[in-house]
Amino acid sequence: RKEVEQDPGPFNVPEGATVAFNCTYSNSASQSFFWYRQDCRKEPKLLMSVYSSGNEDGRFTAQLNRASQYISLLIRDSKLSDSATYLCVGTGGTSYGKLTFGQGTILTVHP
């Protein structure tokens, strides 16, 4: 079983839609979680951190449920520029600072 699992999609949504991505992790020792965004043929960039109390940044909301080992990302009022791959990421495990990436979920927002 992969340490971090995501639905690869693709998700195709119209502008203005709300879309949610889910992610599960298997390593209960993982300390921190993040969502990274990766544009086509570009490097990953940190989108936001994920906390048990929830984390909101504009149209983006991330949530962590440690009991269920489940992470989510909600995007409201989707924009064309939101089209990208969204990578669910956990840390911890055998070495401090090691990031374990999920496969990524592809989002395409169309007019």
Distance in Å, CB of 18 to other proteins, minimum? 24
Applying CB under 8 A, which part among 37-45, 50-58, 63-71, 75-83 lies near other proteins?
37-45
Asked if residue 11 lies in contact with residue 105, where contact means CB atoms within 8 angstroms, the answer is yes
Residue among 46, 56, 57, 70 that touches other proteins (CB under 8 A): 46
Distances (CA, A) of 55 to 41, 43, 62, 71, 109: 28, 23, 5, 11, 23
What is the bridge-based pairing of β-strands 4-6 and 55-57? unpaired
Task: Summarize as ranges the residues that interact with other proteins (CB under 8 A).
Answer: 4, 8, 32, 34, 42-46, 49, 87, 89, 91, 94-104
